[in-house]
Amino acid sequence: MIFFTDECVPTNAARMLSYFEQEHEVRAHEEHFDKGTPDTVWMQVLATWNETTIVISGDGRILKNKAEKRVLKECGLMFVCLAPGWTHTVWRDYGWKIIKVWPDIVRNIVDARYPMVFEVMVGSLKVRPMGRISNL
């Protein structure tokens, strides 16, 4: 599996996770796309990759924007949304929190029987299933 972090997840977090994650690959947005590449564009590219790809996003607006939601649904990508508080978390806390919750994120993805949306809370570090991608 490939875990792809979007622009709203610090590149340092993706790099750190790539060292921490032993079984799966972690790729950062900047490794494949220019800054500002529309979400609809990079999601369609991810859908063509030969491995199961999971989006780790700090941008919950993707789930509210009609065009982005439609593309996400059509591509059938798994989607993990970091709840709004993550974007305002200082790096020294962000780093240890993302590492601590990472095994739960991976476990939820591996256990899912179909493409799902999950939300990761910054305070409790709980991974909450939000439903099937097909139901967006």
Neighbour-count burial for 15-32, b at 16+ CB within 10 Å, e otherwise: ebbbeebeebebbbbeee
Closest CA relative to residue 54, chosen from 81, 83, 15: 81
Those residues with Cβ within 8 angstroms of residue 20's Cβ, 6 or more apart along the chain or in another chain: 99, 102
Contact between 55 and 43 under an 8 Å Cβ cutoff? The reply is yes
pLDDT at 106 over 90: yes
For residue 62, give the CATH number of its domain.
Answer: 3.40.50
Domain that holds residue 43: 2-135
pLDDT digits (tens, 9 = 90+) for 54-97: 999 999 999 999 999 999 999 999 999 999 999 999 999 999 99
Element (H, E) at 30: none
- Is it the case that residue 40 has pLDDT exceeding 90? yes
Task: Give me the chain's average pLDDT, please.
Answer: 96
Average pLDDT over residues 25-30: 97
Digit-coded pLDDT (tens) for 113-132: 999 999 999 999 999 999 99
Q: What is the pTM of this model?
A: 0.95
Counted domains in the chain: 1
